[in-house]
Structure 1
């Protein structure tokens, strides 16, 4: 959503000052989520964080969940740039390099927004349709492109007909997300980040292209 599309709860278009206030409230929400669950996070805590009042918060969001939903939509939009790695041919060594960049970038993405993404996913898993739609829309940017690449490779005879492109793409994205969410635990078991990226990149590359690097 562009800044010109932002409106207050009563439907008024936000001016520059109001946009900055809304931004500060969202940033404070993201910071507090690093140490507080969404169930325990109160509007007064967010308002106090920015030196404001709950009344100010309610000019922009109906509740804490709506603020977290807005954050989830924002961070989801960042995946468009990463998905651009799938818009070029994955041939030869350049293809494996693109797979590495995709996996490494996905981990970086999770590290930057861990608290928001963890909260989004938990809400989605617990049945909140709003958060599930936001999650699916964000990940779909990568899933759809992976599916297209796998379908292309299958049509060329490089990938088995037993592999359904969208199912394979969904499995790859689920693997990347799981690894990104818990890579610190893997590192605690002696598996370096570089090793995780390299392993996952080879899995993605071979599944997408049907070729061993």
Structure 2
């Protein structure tokens, strides 16, 4: 069984303007239940950063505690003060990067039924692709674990994507009330399909470049599909 991530005082990254990272404070505890001091929180942060870095070149099943400890310049015993195993650290990283989607709520809260609607959809897709580019290794690992049946990673993925799905579903509902989208379309089903499309496009946009699809092409096309689906309008 995979271990559960501990909670305590740590600095979690959030996406700020232009994709920059800001921080929020979250409570973290060591595995023995002790509250982490400033030094302990810093050590835990270094272990998580090292795990994220190593995931770029290692699969989670191939990554060992000793590899992470060596990257930080500490011992495996130190790692086990904070995490039960490698997957435990990856789960903590997954929870962190999920928070980086929070700024997308503002884009979804904007009205899309005016002349700026398509631009907002475009910003949404561009930000989502940038989010995947920044956290690709962690997100790929999270999704693989979810697909393999790990319920905790599945729950984490669903929690991260919930604001996106719910925001898109509300757009469909609004358009249906105004008679612009067919009543036969189920808002949440449409939103789930669009979110899945965004995730796949973001995950594989580099591969699509081999077929002549540039990033700007992918963003524009995906944004227009989303905009037309949720508003019923063509621009």
TM range (shorter): over 0.9
Higher helix share: 1
Aligned length: 213
Decide which moves more: 145-154 or 65-74: 145-154
**SS of equivalent to 1:80:** coil
Unaligned runs of 5+ in 1: none
Is 1:86 the counterpart of 2:128 in the alignment?
Answer: no
Please give the TM-score of this superposition, normalised by the length of structure 1: 0.98
Report the counterpart of residue 150 of structure 1 in structure 2.
172
Report the counterpart of residue 100 of structure 1 in structure 2.
122
Higher strand share: 2
Report the counterpart of residue 62 of structure 1 in structure 2.
84
What displacement does 1:168 show? 0.2
What displacement does 1:155 show? 1.6
**SS of equivalent to 1:93:** coil
Q: For 1:70 and 1:125, how far apart are their aligned partners in 2?
A: 18
Q: For 2:97 and 2:27, how far apart are their aligned partners in 1?
A: 17
Q: For 1:81 and 1:163, how far apart are their aligned partners in 2?
A: 27
Unaligned runs of 5+ in 2: 1-6, 11-25
1:8-87 superposed matches below 5 A: 8-87=30-109
What displacement does 1:182 show? 0.3
Q: For 1:122 and 1:79, how far apart are their aligned partners in 2?
A: 19
What displacement does 1:148 show? 1.1
Report the counterpart of residue 131 of structure 1 in structure 2.
153
Q: For 1:41 and 1:185, how far apart are their aligned partners in 2?
A: 25
What displacement does 1:93 show? 2.7
Q: RMSD of the TM alignment (CA)? A: 1.0
Q: For 2:168 and 2:33, how far apart are their aligned partners in 1?
A: 38
What displacement does 1:97 show? 0.5
Find runs of 4+ consecutive structure 1 residues off by over 3 angstroms: none
Report the counterpart of residue 196 of structure 1 in structure 2.
218
Q: For 1:28 and 1:5, how far apart are their aligned partners in 2?
A: 20
Q: For 1:155 and 1:92, how far apart are their aligned partners in 2?
A: 16
Q: For 2:134 and 2:224, how far apart are their aligned partners in 1?
A: 24
Given candidates 162, 185, 190, the residue that maps to 2:207 is 185
Report the counterpart of residue 171 of structure 1 in structure 2.
193
What displacement does 1:210 show? 1.1
